[in-house]
Amino acid sequence: MREEFKLLVALQDLDIMIKEAEEKKTSDQLKDMGFQLDGLEELRKARAKLAGKIPTALRNRYEKLAGHYSMAIIPVTENRCLGCFVKLPTSFFSSAYSSELITCENCGRLLFIP
């Protein structure tokens, strides 16, 4: 996996965490269990730092997709995009670790192939 794509995947994981901590329902549940969620500002800083390491064009592509879908990068299971469930051509997988980013032809999400 290309290094900048790795950063992008980590960025999405972080965005999901931030969203969870910002959501009242989820954060209330966590607080009820005894968790303290005081570091939200630190997470936002970590997010900005990480985003700064990603090339602008790639980051913009991610942000645009993230504005449209709940997940810009989506895992592939059994050759299917888990975003739109369309079956992907097998040729995708031979080139999975090549330098090119793989996009679902149907929905346009970036694909994460484990």
- Token digits of residue 20: 């969870």
- Going by C-beta distance under 8 Å and a sequence separation of 6 or more, which residues neighbour residue 87? 79, 80
58 within 8 A of 8, measured Cβ to Cβ: yes
Helical residues (DSSP H) of 23-111, grouped into ranges: 24-32, 40-53, 56-68, 91-94
Q: Is 14 in the site for other proteins (CB under 8 A)?
A: yes
Site string for other proteins, 42-81 (x = CB under 8 A): xx--x------------------------x-xxx-x----
In the bound state with other proteins, the residue whose beta carbon lies nearer, of 39 and 55, is 39
110 within 8 A of 99, measured Cβ to Cβ: no
Of 82, 84, 96, 101, the residue at the interface with other proteins (CB under 8 A) is: 82
Q: Residues interacting with other proteins, by CB under 8 A? A: 6, 9-10, 12-14, 16-17, 20-21, 23, 26, 29-30, 32-40, 42-43, 46, 71, 73-75, 77, 82-83, 112, 114
